[in-house]
Amino acid sequence: MSEPTPLLSVESLQAGYGAVQVLWKISFSVDKGAVVSIIGSNGAGKTTTLKNLAGALRPWSGKITLNGEDITAMPPHERVRRHLVLVPEGRQLWPRMTVEENLLMGAYSPVARTRATDNLSRTYELFPRLKERRRQLAGTLSGGEQQMCAIGRGLMSEPEILMLDEPSLGLAPVLVDQIFDMIRSISGSGVTILLVEQNVGHALEASDRAYVLETGRIILEGTGQQLLKNDMVGKVYLGAYAS
């Protein structure tokens, strides 16, 4: 029996900024319904990878395939219409808009707009705190609440794949636990997740599959549990980043 086609496939991707190359022929895949993590140190190329997938950067070479369709040269808004959605590092909310206004900004594609009311209700079910704060300006939220709002805004776009860039960055340990509980809940609702995260222990615990990215190259891959038990991962990453 043939293997199922991955929902997202990246083949020999090379990319960078100006004349500086950051990614060197990286290849990986994301299966439908899975939680997949890309881990690595600062400067390894993790965020650059997500920017290329989202269309914010154009790859130098290689191929990105979503649901069997080549999206390598596709603009960002067309990728969102195909339900590939990025929640960027640093949340990037509109601080002078309310929580609800920020969430509704996620429903800008024509299809998502028609279901914005229903999707808003579902988002509030997942994040009750956001419902309590829905009239509050986003800039006055705590760090954890801002991250919930950023993830909620991403969910308003009806993602098939939700890409999360450092969702636990800058949060207290108890809030990190809450964010990863939410990631598991989102995955349980049927959304495929591609996670970039420096909190390696949490990321691998939550992942079906994971890739280690170092200096723009994938040097190791396996299930989350396999990498948790890997000596090199334990020595280099878990010691430095485990909460």
User: Rounded distance, CA 104 to CA 218, Å?
Assistant: 37
227 and 113, same structural domain? no
203 and 139, same structural domain? no
Number of domains in the chain: 2
pLDDT per residue over 183-203, tens digit each?
A: 999 999 999 999 999 889 999
Structural domain of 136: 90-158
Looking at residue 116, its pLDDT comes to 92
Domain boundary among 158, 190, 208: 158
123 and 70, same structural domain? no
77 and 18, same structural domain? yes
Q: Phi and psi of 33, rounded to 5°?
A: 85, -5
121 and 220, same structural domain? no
User: Rounded distance, CA 190 to CA 94, Å?
Assistant: 28
108 and 33, same structural domain? no
User: Rounded distance, CA 177 to CA 184, Å?
Assistant: 11
Domain boundary among 132, 158, 184: 158
For residue 129, pLDDT beyond 60: yes
User: Rounded distance, CA 38 to CA 25, Å?
Assistant: 15
Q: Where on the phi/psi map is residue 207: left (φ > 0), alpha (ψ -120 to 50), or beta?
A: beta
164 and 154, same structural domain? no
243 and 172, same structural domain? yes
Question: Region 93-109: what's the mean pLDDT?
Answer: 92
- Report the predicted TM-score, pTM, of the whole model to 2 decimal places: 0.91
74 and 59, same structural domain? yes
For residue 121, pLDDT beyond 50: yes
Looking at residue 241, its pLDDT comes to 43
Helix (H, G, I), strand (E, B) or coil at 157: coil
For residue 1, pLDDT beyond 80: no
DSSP strand E in 31-154: where?
A: 35-39, 61-66, 69-70, 84-87
153 and 163, same structural domain? no
Domain boundary among 110, 132, 158: 158
Count of CB atoms situated within 10 Å of the CB of 123? 23
User: Rounded distance, CA 15 to CA 148, Å?
Assistant: 30
